[in-house]
């Protein structure tokens, strides 16, 4: 069968056709790949012909090593909400936690009902919140001298125990109630700006409603209950997030939101969530 000689020779019609077809395919795809398709950049104007060829070859102006060292990777928190973390929190022993909490009363008050407006109330606080904040203090992710020193003295188990203790205390913080919230009424008529932000957010500025994470409409782990917290404390934290003094929100959500708020909105929100001093005394 193999009667024709020179299977690689171009005088032979079959190899000639095969080579020509191969060359045409390569030529077309090189032209498309280097001259046409790679001219169009996502966010930049189209490249010129020479620029496109260089770009396709991977030769760009920034080929050399960057002059500045890349900033070190900064993580907002060591805590990730993995099943093992949640398991550590669930294992918290409130009985043992009550002993540890004796160290907290000097500042956070009897049973976690803080008397100082700048120190948060812990009564009824979500245990995941206390656990995470203690770890953030411990690792310096939330820098605060006193709490950093105290948290370093506590083990992981101690954190979980004291979190369980405060979570179990009655008459403390809770998700704020809203008349229409459970019946799904339209809340678009909220006139008060703080109430509007809390229940509706502000689409224009990309601010989600506070209640989507802090309750009652939604619950995101790590978000503390706000109703009954000291107004001054809430306002201070919002300002700290906005100025990036506090950076331990895992997904940067509070920094993003707080940056969008005006000082008067922060004040109004803090007042909306914060309990008046009189009711606090009565509560105690």
Partner 1 sequence: MGFKFLQSFLTFFVVLPTLLTVYSICASLEIAGRHRGGRGLLGWIGALPWDEPMVLVAALSLVMLGGGGFGGIINMSYAMNSMIHNTSWVPAHFHLIFGGAVVIMYFAIAYEMWPQITGKLLRSKKLARRQLWLWFWGIMIVTIPWHITGLMGQPRRVAVFDYDDPLVARTGPLVIISVIGGMILLLSAILLIFILVRSHFGERTGEIPLRYALAVNPPAHVPSSLNGFALWNTILLVLMLVAYGYPIGQFALLKPHSVPAYDVTSHSDGGGAR
> Which residues sit at the interface with partner 1, rule CB under 8 A?
1-5, 7-8, 12, 14-15, 18-19, 22, 25-26, 28-30, 32-34, 37-38, 55-58, 63-65, 73, 78-80, 82-86, 88, 135, 155-157
CA distances from 103 to 76, 153, 199, 220 (A): 27, 11, 37, 29
What is the smallest separation between the CB atom of 257 and partner 1, expressed in angstroms?
22
Please identify, using beta-carbon distances, which residue of 155 and 260 lies nearer to partner 1. Answer: 155
What is the smallest separation between the CB atom of 179 and partner 1, expressed in angstroms?
31
What is the smallest separation between the CB atom of 177 and partner 1, expressed in angstroms?
27
Bridge partners, residue 202, by sequence: 207
b/e 22-53 (16+ beta carbons within 10 angstroms → b): eeeeeeeeeeeebeeebbeeeeeeebeeebbb
Please identify, using beta-carbon distances, which residue of 55 and 219 lies nearer to partner 1. Answer: 55
What is the smallest separation between the CB atom of 241 and partner 1, expressed in angstroms?
22
Please count the other Cβ atoms lying within 10 Å of the Cβ belonging to residue 255. Answer: 18
Tokens at 249, concatenated:
């929100």
Please identify, using beta-carbon distances, which residue of 59 and 149 lies nearer to partner 1. Answer: 59
Please identify, using beta-carbon distances, which residue of 89 and 234 lies nearer to partner 1. Answer: 89
CA distances from 178 to 174, 191, 272 (A): 12, 14, 12
What is the smallest separation between the CB atom of 147 and partner 1, expressed in angstroms?
18
């Amino acid at each position: 069968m193999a009667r024709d000689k020179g299977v690689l020779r171009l005088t032979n019609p079959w190899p000639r056709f095969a080579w020509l077809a191969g060359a045409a395919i390569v030529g077309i795809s090189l032209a498309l790949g280097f001259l046409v398709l790679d001219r169009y950049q996502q966010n930049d104007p189209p490249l010129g012909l020479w620029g496109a060829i260089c770009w396709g070859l991977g030769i760009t102006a920034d080929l050399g090593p960057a002059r500045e060292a890349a900033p070190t990777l900064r993580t907002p928190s060591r805590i990730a909400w993995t099943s093992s973390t949640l398991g550590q929190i669930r294992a918290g022993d409130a009985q043992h936690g009550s002993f540890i909490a004796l160290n907290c009363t000097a500042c956070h008050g009897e049973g976690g009902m803080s008397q100082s407006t700048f120190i948060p109330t812990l009564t009824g606080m979500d245990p995941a919140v206390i656990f995470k904040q203690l770890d953030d203090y411990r690792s310096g992710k939330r820098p605060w001298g006193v709490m950093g020193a105290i948290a370093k003295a506590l083990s992981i188990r101690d954190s979980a125990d004291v979190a369980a203790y405060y979570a179990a205390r009655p008459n403390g913080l809770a998700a704020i109630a809203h008349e229409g919230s459970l019946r799904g009424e339209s809340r678009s008529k909220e006139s008060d700006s703080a109430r509007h932000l809390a229940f509706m957010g502000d689409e224009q500025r990309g601010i989600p409603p506070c209640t989507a994470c802090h309750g009652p409409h939604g619950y995101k782990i790590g978000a503390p209950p706000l109703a009954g917290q000291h107004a001054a404390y809430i306002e201070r934290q919002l300002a700290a997030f906005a100025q990036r003094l506090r950076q331990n929100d895992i997904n940067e959500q509070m920094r993003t939101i707080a940056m969008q708020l005006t000082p008067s909105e922060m004040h109004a929100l803090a007042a909306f969530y914060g309990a008046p001093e009189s009711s606090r005394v009565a509560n105690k």
